[in-house]
């Protein structure tokens, strides 16, 4: 593995061709709507502070903070209109200018009289255009977006100046779990409401229900990073469970010694040293030719991977080293993408298995738990793994300091399968909500097979974590 980051210079796209997503932390959209819509007799307002990240044509605004004005800040508040005092807004603008982790203001208000579909009114348009012009006159380097809620739906948009004129484009709201999301009234996102579940999944519908299968087979994008012993099983599970958009990310080629565990790898693939992601993509498309499978023969540090991960609904992390997990976690928190990591361990001493175990970890932005505070990332190993000098790395491996990518670990398919299946069920549970969420699941096959929840690691995690305490 190379720690080198590849840099590609791209010309920033025109703002009007951006795909804008406003992304919330886990449960944050639910809490916001609950508070704003509790009283249906009047419009309510909230101001969100967010961070804008543009990568290629994708613009992700991550929501960091929510402010509700006290009643004295409402200059006018009725069932069809609303005015919040300039003082309240100026305080928020000052805060954005002072902070380094936010650069965007998002106005939110309700139309409590609308039951389902909702649209910005002519007055909303006028107010927001005035505000964009005000920001420009003040020379404020602050981005601006807005959301309007009805009882069930929303409409959202992102504003910018084009030749001195305020222009808007529709924005999509995204939540950590799709079960928390609400429909957009915008025609642009209308297609997402009409999802037909293919007959291939009739038996899945019987088990999980039509609504859940609609969510799974809909527009969800799942990335699998590392398609080795566990990742290849994860990928096959995803296609069988009904996911229709899967990214496979791995830089490696197949070899004969992979054939004891990589699903879909054939003897011929190994002899010809085919790239792993291509072999697995072929297998997935044979199972479901209508699915979209994106094979990225890349190191996770490559520029091309960043946008793919940022645009994912979930990342399944099946790489076998600390540096790549660390990097994926950084991107996940930057772009608010939830992820599930898997790992296995087989310790053999004097020809005897001393430990055979594995674990699955669930990380969603807003849950205040991550690999760092759970002490699942070892800073020393990351430093060594990404050491730029290949000879130094090789030396560290020989001395036994670095495990993982460069080391041939013992591996068997049965252990990998159990862990991959636990991880897949954890992902499916994000759609069906059949079970309580478990942060760490451990599987051990030593004295007797056992699956249990690692409550201790979660309880004793570092509560002042700099990574997940946003």
Footprint of Zn ion on 407-466 (CB under 5 A): 465
DSSP structure string for 240-257: HHT--EEEEE---B--GG
- Out of 29, 363, 370, 382, the only residue in the binding site for Zn ion (CB under 5 A) is 370
CA-based nearest residue to 431, from 188, 150, 207: 207
Does position 373 bind Zn ion by CB under 5 A? yes
Does position 332 bind Zn ion by CB under 5 A? no
Does position 468 bind Zn ion by CB under 5 A? yes
Does position 363 bind Zn ion by CB under 5 A? no
What totals of helices (H) and strands (E) does the chain contain, helices first?
A: 14, 17
Contacting range for Zn ion; rule: CB under 5 A; set: 28-36, 175-183, 371-379, 413-421: 371-379
| Shorter beta-carbon distance to Zn ion: residue 52 or 325 | 325
Do 330 and 364 meet the contact criterion of CB atoms below 8 Å apart?
no
| Shorter beta-carbon distance to Zn ion: residue 370 or 382 | 370
| Shorter beta-carbon distance to Zn ion: residue 103 or 128 | 128
Contacts of 137 (CB under 8 A, 6+ apart): none
CA distance 255 to 249: 17
Contacting range for Zn ion; rule: CB under 5 A; set: 21-29, 197-205, 211-219, 365-373: 365-373
Structure tokens, 217: 């087979």
> Contacts with Zn ion: how many residues (CB under 5 A)?
8
| Shorter beta-carbon distance to Zn ion: residue 84 or 356 | 84
Please, what's the largest Cα pairwise distance for the chain?
A: 78
| Shorter beta-carbon distance to Zn ion: residue 49 or 82 | 82
Binding mask 83-122 for Zn ion (x = CB under 5 A): --------------------------------------x-
Does position 356 bind Zn ion by CB under 5 A? no
Count of Cβ atoms closer than 10 Å to residue 281 Cβ: 21
In three-state secondary structure terms, 432 is: helix
Footprint of Zn ion on 121-150 (CB under 5 A): 121, 124
CA-based nearest residue to 264, from 238, 244, 290, 245: 238
Question: Based on C-alpha coordinates, what's the Rg of the chain?
Answer: 24
Q: How far is the CB of 369 from Zn ion (least distance, A)?
A: 6
Contacts with Zn ion by CB under 5 A lie at 121, 124, 370, 372-373, 465, 467-468
């Amino acid at each position: 593995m190379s720690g080198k980051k590849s840099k590609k210079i791209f010309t920033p796209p025109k703002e009007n061709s951006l795909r804008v997503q406003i992304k919330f932390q886990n449960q944050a959209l639910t809490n916001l709507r609950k508070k704003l819509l509790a009283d249906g007799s009047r419009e309510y307002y909230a101001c969100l502070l967010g961070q804008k990240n543009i990568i290629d044509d994708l613009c992700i605004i991550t929501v960091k903070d929510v402010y509700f004005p006290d009643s004295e800040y409402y200059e006018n508040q009725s069932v069809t209109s609303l005015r919040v005092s300039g003082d309240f807004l100026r305080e928020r603008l000052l805060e954005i200018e002072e902070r380094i982790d936010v650069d965007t203001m998002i106005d939110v208000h309700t139309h409590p009289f609308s039951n389902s579909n909702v649209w910005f009114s002519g007055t909303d348009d006028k107010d927001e255009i005035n505000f964009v012009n005000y920001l420009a006159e003040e020379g404020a380097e602050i981005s601006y977006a807005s959301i309007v809620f009805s009882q069930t739906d929303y409409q959202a948009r992102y504003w910018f100046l084009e030749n001195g004129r305020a222009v808007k484009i529709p924005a999509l709201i995204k939540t950590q779990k799709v079960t928390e999301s609400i429909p957009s009234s915008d025609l642009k996102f209308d297609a997402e409401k009409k999802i037909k579940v293919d007959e291939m999944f009739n038996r899945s519908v019987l088990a999980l229900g039509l609504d859940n299968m609609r969510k799974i087979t809909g527009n969800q994008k799942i990335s699998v990073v590392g398609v080795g012993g566990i990742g290849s099983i994860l990928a096959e599970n995803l296609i069988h469970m009904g996911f229709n958009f899967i990214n496979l990310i791995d830089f490696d080629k197949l070899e004969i010694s992979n054939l004891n565990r990589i699903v879909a790898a054939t003897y011929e693939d190994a002899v010809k040293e085919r790239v792993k992601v291509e072999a697995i993509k072929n297998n997935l498309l044979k199972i479901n030719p209508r699915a979209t499978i994106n094979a990225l023969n890349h190191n996770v540090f490559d520029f091309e991977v960043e946008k793919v991960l940022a645009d994912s609904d979930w990342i399944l992390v099946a790489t076998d080293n600390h540096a790549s997990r660390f990097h994926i976690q950084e991107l996940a928190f930057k772009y608010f993408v939830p992820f599930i990591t898997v790992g296995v361990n087989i310790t053999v001493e004097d020809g005897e298995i001393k430990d055979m175990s594995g674990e699955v970890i669930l990380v969603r932005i807003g849950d205040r738990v991550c690999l760092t505070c759970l002490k699942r990332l070892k800073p020393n190993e990351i430093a060594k793994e990404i050491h730029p000098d290949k000879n130094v790395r090789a030396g560290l491996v020989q001395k036994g300091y670095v495990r993982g990518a460069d080391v041939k670990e013992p591996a068997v398919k049965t252990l990998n399968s159990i862990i991959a299946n636990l991880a897949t069920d954890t992902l499916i549970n994000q759609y069906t909500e059949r079970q309580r969420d478990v942060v760490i699941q451990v599987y051990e096959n030593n004295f007797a097979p056992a699956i249990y929840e690692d409550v201790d690691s979660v309880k004793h995690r570092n509560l002042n974590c700099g990574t997940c305490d946003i």
